[in-house]
Chains A and B, each alone.
Chain A
């Protein structure tokens, strides 16, 4: 069965500091994809970054990078030089490549608050 775990319900970070949001996952499928989403108070879910299970390098998108440790089944999101606008809920999600391909399951989320 799929499972996504985000152990940090909330985090406070000083503006301009880097922050790491934790995500661990559990799957028996060797082919899967991992996603991170941001949800501001407006409610929209914004796609940030994707990591495939066979990707050789960690994904990066601007200030976002993914610390992918396959053996430990972790896919932590790193935000560099945090900004006030980064305050939001952040969700880790996974889709298995073969079975249950239509299902993307989400973790419970981490609420990130950036202090000025």
Chain B
């Protein structure tokens, strides 16, 4: 069983809806990440948090809004999404922000925007 849990596993939403993705890590890590995985494209880093502070915001549209209330939880709030936002959203955590600390991923949320 993964130490990083994401809910929901699947989400279908209309372009006018507001929804949130949740991520929880049980590994005692200090850093958490959101990645987007679209078909036939490499994983795209969206946001990075270290000790609840955002340290990276990779030119992500404002319709994606992250929240990190504590070092174990990470949210991605979604509103007025576009069909091209349909993708697998992966949450990850790592012990620190530097090598050799690998990322530990959750199972992802498969998002479909209709």
Q: Determine if chain A interacts with chain B.
A: yes
State whether A101 touches B98 (Cβ < 8 A): yes
CA distance A102 to B45 in the complex (A): 10
Within 8 Å of chain B (Cβ to Cβ): is A32?
yes
A82-114 contact mask (Cβ, 8 Å, vs B): 1 or 0? 000000000101010100011111111100000
CA distance A102 to B50 in the complex (A): 9
**Interface residues on chain B, size class:** 20 to 34
**Residues in B whose Cβ lies below 8 Å from that of A45:** 90, 92, 103, 105
State whether A50 touches B110 (Cβ < 8 A): no
Closest beta carbon of chain A to B47's beta carbon, Å: 10
**Residues in A whose Cβ lies below 8 Å from that of B56:** 102-103
Contact for A102 among B2, B31, B43, B105, CB less than 8 A: B31
**Interface residues on chain A, size class:** 20 to 34
Closest beta carbon of chain A to B80's beta carbon, Å: 26
Interface hub of B31, B107, B110 (most chain A Cβ within 10 A)? B107
**Residues in B whose Cβ lies below 8 Å from that of A4:** 42
Q: When A and B form their complex, which 5 residue pairs have the shortest distance between CB atoms, in order from nearest? A: A33-B99, A45-B105, A106-B43, A43-B108, A47-B102
Chain A residues at the B interface, C-beta cutoff of 8 Å: 4, 31-33, 35, 37, 42-47, 50, 52, 91, 93, 95, 97, 101-109
Chain B residues at the A interface, C-beta cutoff of 8 Å: 2, 31, 33, 40-43, 45, 48, 50, 55-56, 88, 90, 92, 97-100, 102-108, 110
